[in-house]
Structure 1
């Protein structure tokens, strides 16, 4: 018989970034959320747990390096809580190389379901770990910027930054 686990412990902190404050959330000490101000699908603040910087040293260091143009791939451990389909989409997002983009249709094809581009878009929009799970790298079929939970202007800024079309010493 497996011993019963107690409820998950959540903690959060807020760090500065070139794109505004970022709220980092950990579940049982593992990063489970990164939310921008005014982000669509942002959970209520009361679900973030107690303020505590302790579990966020590694991710804060990686984000600082990313915003300084020194890090192209995050290695911090992630706790992604979602449906199996959402987690499969988020896994595909993590395969999009720094500075590149993919369309919703290309992600659907990579998942083996070419008719699922709308479902991919919905899962992309529910991504709880923006920037680290790079949902900003997904564009429309014609390359146009389409929905982004952090706002289209932030999406444009992040893509320009990764393409080297913006200041690299942002942070």
Structure 2
């Protein structure tokens, strides 16, 4: 897994060895420039801890701040996905 964060929140969580990963990194650089931190930050540490708790079944709601950037359509889709409650599919 690769985590990335800006000064505002988590902006990347993906599988490093996916075929499309280089394209995803290119997009991240287009939207965030040099402001992305990989490795460790307060947001990345929180995301790692929350993801571990979620996978153990101990967490249902994530609190890590997100810094979501993209086209108007992408933002609409991602914000709609954020409204789906734990255990629901749509």
Structure 1, unmatched stretches of 5+, are 1-21, 103-171
Give the drift of 1:44: 3.7
SS of the residue corresponding to residue 70 of structure 1 reads coil
From the CA coordinates, give the structure whose radius of gyration is larger.
Answer: 1
Give the drift of 1:23: 0.3
Q: Which residue of 2 aligns with 1:53?
A: 40
Higher helix share: 2
Q: Which residue of 2 aligns with 1:81?
A: 69
Structure 2, unmatched stretches of 5+, are none
Count of aligned residue pairs for this structure pair: 80
Question: So what's the TM-score if we normalise by structure 2?
Answer: 0.71
Instruction: Say which structure, 1 or 2, has more relative contact order (CA 8 Å, 6+ apart).
Output: 2
Partners of 2:37 and 2:82 lie apart in 1 by 28
Question: So what's the TM-score if we normalise by structure 1?
Answer: 0.40
RMSD, matched Cα? 2.4
Alignment partner of 1:23 is 2:11 = no
Partners of 1:59 and 1:68 lie apart in 2 by 14
SS of the residue corresponding to residue 66 of structure 2 reads coil
Give the drift of 1:35: 0.7
Runs of 4+ in 1 over 4 A off after TM superposition: 47-51
* Alpha-carbon displacement from aligned partner over 1:2-58 (angstroms, at most 9, x marks no partner): xxxxxxxxxxxxxxxxxxxx100012252100011333542248x585644133221
